[in-house]
Structure 1
């Protein structure tokens, strides 16, 4: 068995992974083969993160330990790699809410693996990350630093979509959580009923990414959210959609199997507009948050 050497004894080592604000698309994939039997997503990365730290040689402290899934990821990584973790202390931090559609558990797993790559001075290996994720859960594509059309159950990247699109967002979290595994059969039935609409939505979204047109991407994301309303509705959706033009938003987004909903802006909202958005969402009973999503 190999043990850590070199940089592992130099002090605290970290791994960081972004989360998501739900998805710009969730539905069937029409990429060919049998992909249409799985759920395809285009995750909406957000500038909010999960951090995992390992300090070699440090005694255990009062910091939160690894969560169950992250600890499983660490064990699988070490087993697959034939490595032995040196004595030390894990600690974590996250500004991703659990159970609302921010990919918190996937981000925790990826941050843990990125930390381990650094502990052992290994290059980042997407294949190794996918092997670990596939043994633990359905996942978002936060292990990539770009947009992607991704089959979450099969852990397969259908198409990489680059880093040319970005948005400013105003969003809220509605109460409640969704059990993704429990609603999967319901979603698949819905996707079969609305196959033509989803195919058009995905085609428009991919064209928007290919042309670097954020307005086209936002329109397709709005269409995807509207289709989602037919099966897993958001209470605020109709009101948010009705006021989109008033606020000058390019579109809206949702966490299709979560509780997030918000606006997409290709330009940063002015302070006065942020005040208006905050008041609007407060009138719906929610606290508004602002964050930058995507990459551009």
Structure 2
């Protein structure tokens, strides 16, 4: 829980007229499953960062003090931030923009919250404080690790970073969004029961994934991501997983990733795709009824 930090603070007189906060989203996860070392049951994630973003801007000098223009969760985050630092917003207005689709597994709401907090850190010339960000997130929702600019093993419900995994590599992707949405809270109980039944398989999968990160081996990470996606089929299946799995070798993909509690599914590639390769993939996904997208995930 956030506690007020010192006495009231004023906006720095030299603050720029417009400040912004930016946060990347995700393409689901490379791993979602149990973490036995965590003790009490929880959902562990290795989110798959994507080069798509949420933006939040604040412009001083027009409008009235307030949080109009922010979404509900972002406005709650801003109030918690202001209360913690004993700050008052100046006159101005908010504006937002996002590349991230809502409700499909791109961590859109978490990215909105983090972008809002980063905007406020900029507005008041405060150093970015990851502890404050985590505490605000914990008061609002289960979250992905988009507040970090690296891969991480993260407990989404407890907002606890178990292990940072660096920025050594990334993947090029071809993916689609299947219809529907998933309410993570509503399926948590069934997920935890599934994890209990398949605990040894998940433990091997996570071990292999972490070894891949430790050795800088993206192919090993992609194989483990495919295992995690395959295990997820038994509890929250993707409609076209088996079609993608059967064609993986044909397209030369290193693996398959999914949004485990979302609607995304796609291929992982170690290198940038050429035009002919993109055309073949596009035709394949169109045959399944979808328009595919290409985007880089991870780092490197």
Alignment TM-score, normalising by the size of structure 2: 0.95
Partner of 1:14: 20
Partner of 2:180: 176
Partner of 1:24: 30
Q: Is the contact between residue 7 and residue 119 of structure 1 (CA under 8 Å) also seen in structure 2?
A: no
Q: Is the contact between residue 134 and residue 154 of structure 1 (CA under 8 Å) also seen in structure 2?
A: yes
How far the C-alpha of 1:33 sits from its partner, in A, is 4.5
- Alignment gaps of 5+ in structure 2: 1-7
Alignment partners' CA distance in 1, 2:210 and 2:264: 23
Partner of 1:77: 81
For the aligned residues, what is the CA RMSD? 1.0
Alignment partners' CA distance in 2, 1:194 and 1:33: 16
Q: Does 1:166 align with 2:173?
A: no
Alignment partners' CA distance in 1, 2:180 and 2:12: 46
Matches within 5 A, 1:69-218: 69-218=73-222
1:198-227 Cα shifts (integer Å, max 9, x gaps): 000000000000000000000000000000
- Alignment gaps of 5+ in structure 1: none
Moved over 2 A (4+): none
Q: Does 1:259 align with 2:266?
A: no
Partner of 1:2: 9
Alignment partners' CA distance in 1, 2:10 and 2:185: 38
Give the length in aligned residue pairs. Answer: 290
Alignment partners' CA distance in 2, 1:270 and 1:237: 24
1:160-212 Cα shifts (integer Å, max 9, x gaps): 00001200000000000000000000000000000000000000000000000
Alignment partners' CA distance in 1, 2:13 and 2:260: 44
Q: Is the contact between residue 7 and residue 121 of structure 1 (CA under 8 Å) also seen in structure 2?
A: no
How far the C-alpha of 1:65 sits from its partner, in A, is 1.2
Alignment partners' CA distance in 2, 1:127 and 1:6: 26
Partner of 2:244: 240
Alignment partners' CA distance in 2, 1:141 and 1:58: 34
Q: Is the contact between residue 146 and residue 163 of structure 1 (CA under 8 Å) also seen in structure 2?
A: yes
Alignment partners' CA distance in 2, 1:247 and 1:113: 41
Q: Does 1:273 align with 2:273?
A: no
Provide the secondary structure at the position in 2 that maps to 1:243: helix
